[in-house]
Amino acid sequence: MSGKPRLTYLNGRGRMESIRWLLAAAGVEFEEVYLETKEQYDKLIKDGFLLFQQVPLVEIDGMKMVQTKAIMSYIAGKYNLYGKDLKERALIDMYVEGISDLMQMILMFPFSPPDAKEKNIESIKERATNRYFPVFEKVLKQHGQDFLVGNKFSWADVQLIEAILAVEEKVPAVLSGFPQLQVFKTKMSNMPTIKKFLQPGSPRKPPPDAHYVETVLKIFKK
């Protein structure tokens, strides 16, 4: 047991990617176990590793944590990425939950039928540009600070940079109306831990492809 957190998931983004981002941003090294077969998954369940029979699973500090939000809240709390008090935490939670709603659309995208893909990209673009990005553009403009909350790097910043890059993969010019977010993107990308995560060879996973979708369906089929 190396003492490093151990992540169990498929070899792809899915719901684990935000956790990888947060650990990486916090400068925490971690190990990964990749689910490739249904048998592996069934064994994890049989051995009682998965509280609700689901992944992500993160083994950390003697706990077998499941539930993406729970895991990220713990990591944010542990590594001081959760603000300095209850009110900052409330802001971070609001921002993260909003971004998570946008990320949910991206999460589901690979599993939508081919004839719905174009419509879904339009929806992602619409939500990003009309609902979510304007909020953070305004927040940054109003306080003029580098980070979203409390003038300090937090979980909210990590979640936002992840989302910006994910949306850009689908809608390349999406930041064109958002000068603050463009600056934010550059600043965050240059933070040492994030810069390292964005380089080849990091634990960051590529956009989901057909093989990933196939693996998900195979492993989790009822």
* Site for another protein, rule CB under 8 A: 51-53, 61, 63, 65-70, 73-74, 77-78, 86-87, 89-90, 93-94, 96-98, 101, 131-132, 135
CB of 55 to another protein, least distance (A): 13
Q: Which residues of 67-76 are buried (b: 16+ CB within 10 A; e: fewer)?
A: bbeebbbbbb
Angle at 80 between CA 200 and CA 9, to 5 degrees: 45
Work out how close the CB of 175 gets to another protein at its nearest, in angstroms, rounded to a whole number: 19
User: Smallest gap, in angstroms, from Cβ of residue 16 to another protein?
Assistant: 15
Least Å distance between CB 98 and another protein?
Answer: 5
User: In the complex with another protein, which residue's Cβ is closer, 76 or 194?
Assistant: 76
- The pairs formed by 60-65 with CB atoms below 8 angstroms and a separation of 24 or more are 60/5, 60/6
Nearest distance from residue 27's CB to another protein, in Å?
A: 18
Closest CB to another protein among residues 83, 197 = 83
Residue 193 · residue 148 · CB < 8 Å: no
Q: Could you tell me the smallest distance in angstroms from the CB atom of residue 54 to another protein?
A: 9
Nearer to another protein, 24 or 60 (CB): 60
Nearest residue (CB) to another protein, 90 versus 209: 90
What residues contact 124, with CB distance under 8 A and at least 6 apart?
A: 102, 105, 106, 109, 167, 170, 171
- Contact (CB, 8 A) for 119 and 129: no
CA dihedral (159, 16, 200, 167) in degrees, to 10, reads -50
Nearer to another protein, 68 or 154 (CB): 68
CB nearer another protein, residue 15 or residue 170: 15
Q: Phi/psi of residue 3, each to 5°? A: 90, -15
